[in-house]
């Protein structure tokens, strides 16, 4: 299990310090929620902030674009130092084109699905994905409750990936905490995104151990 703490719940006034603290705590990934105020209601941060902070961190930058027509910004986020760029299937009419462009620029790619979006939209792109992000809340806000039907969706996606002999990672984002971690991992989740349930319980090293201990029970 890889834990990717979501900076959406961090102290935005101290992002460089937060990244350093995550690294010191033993985290390997960090999740950037990029929101445009159109695809989702809120506005968060953009490529210039990520680019500036890339110089201060060795963490794997897991960048989740919750923006309309993300293909317009792929070059910016590659240049900013993203290690993985995830676009929403619902945000563009040209998902395959966006994924191909991310790959062409040498960055890992993923597709995110909103809770109601069926797995069938992945049929013709799954083979080119490094990761699928399953939203377990409706995107745009932190601190929401986990939607229980996501458990079956994780299991179904895991079966699809295994049937094709792929190594595509499954990421789950929304309402993730130590109480549901074991079940998420048991169903097939590889990467867990946690915001308020992580940042709200310092010290970070101890909170990471709590998640890892829960995952070990899967």
Domain parsing of the chain, residue ranges: 2-215
User: How much is the average pLDDT of 198-213?
Assistant: 98
Tokens at residue 35, please?
Answer: 């929101």
Q: Please report, in range form, the residues annotated as the binding site.
A: 6, 31, 33, 64, 140-143, 173-175, 195-196
pLDDT at 218 over 90: yes
With CA atoms as reference, report the closest residue to 168 among 91, 99, 118: 99
Q: Is the pLDDT of residue 177 over 90?
A: yes
Mean pLDDT of 84-100: 97
Mean pLDDT, the chain, integer: 96
CA–CA distance, 89 with 10 (Å, rounded to integer): 27
% of the chain exceeding 70 in pLDDT: 99
Mean pLDDT, rounded, for 173-202: 97
Q: Is the confidence at residue 143, as pLDDT, over 90?
A: no
Q: What residues act catalytically?
A: 33, 173
| Predicted confidence (pLDDT) per residue in 6-32, tens digit | 999 999 999 999 999 999 999 999 999
Q: Report how far apart, in Å, the C-alpha atoms of 157 and of each of 2, 127, 137 are.
A: 18, 13, 17
Answer yes or no: is pLDDT of 165 > 90.
yes
Tokens for 43?
């506005």
What pTM was estimated for this model as a whole?
Answer: 0.96
In three-state secondary structure terms, 93 is coil
- Residue 42 CA to residue 65 CA, distance in Å, equals 12
CA 34 to chain centre: 11
Tell me the backbone φ, ψ of residue 13, rounded to 5 degrees.
-80, -10
Mean pLDDT of 166-173: 98
Q: Annotated binding residues for a divalent metal cation, as ranges? A: 31, 33, 64, 173
pLDDT confidence bin for 140, thresholds 50/70/90: confident
What is the mean predicted confidence (pLDDT) over 77-101?
Answer: 97
Residue 89: pLDDT over 80? yes
Handedness of CA 142, 147, 153, 154 (dihedral sign): positive
Q: Which residue has the tokens 């968060």?
A: 44
| Residue 142 predicted with pLDDT over 90 | no
Q: Which residues are annotated as a binding site for substrate?
A: 6, 64, 140-143, 173-175, 195-196
Is the CATH code 3.40.50.2000 the one for domain 2-215? no
Question: What's the pLDDT score for residue 139?
Answer: 81
pLDDT at residue number 15: 97
Contact present, 193 and 176 (Cβ < 8 Å) = yes
Mean pLDDT confidence for 100-122: 97
Mean pLDDT of 194-211: 97
């Amino acid at each position: 299990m890889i834990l990717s703490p979501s900076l959406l719940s961090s102290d935005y006034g101290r992002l460089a310090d937060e990244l350093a603290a995550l690294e010191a705590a033993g985290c390997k990934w960090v999740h950037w929620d990029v929101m445009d105020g159109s695809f989702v209601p809120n506005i968060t941060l953009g490529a210039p902030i990520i680019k500036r902070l890339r110089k201060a961190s060795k963490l794997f930058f897991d960048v989740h674009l919750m923006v309309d027509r993300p293909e317009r910004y792929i070059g910016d986020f590659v240049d900013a130092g993203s290690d993985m760029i995830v676009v929403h299937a619902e945000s563009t009419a040209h998902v395959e084109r966006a994924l191909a462009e991310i790959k062409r620029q040498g960055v890992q790619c993923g597709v995110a699905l909103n809770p109601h979006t069926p797995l069938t939209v992945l049929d013709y792109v799954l083979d080119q994905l490094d990761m699928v992000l399953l939203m377990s809340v409706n995107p745009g806000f932190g601190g929401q409750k986990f939607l229980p039907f996501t458990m079956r969706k994780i299991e179904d996606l895991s079966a699809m990936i295994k049937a094709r002999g792929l190594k595509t990672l499954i990421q789950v984002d929304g309402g993730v905490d130590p109480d549901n971690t074991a079940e998420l991992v048991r169903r097939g989740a590889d990467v867990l995104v946690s915001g308020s349930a992580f940042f709200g319980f310092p010290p970070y090293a101890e909170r990471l151990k709590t998640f890892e201990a829960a995952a070990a029970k899967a």
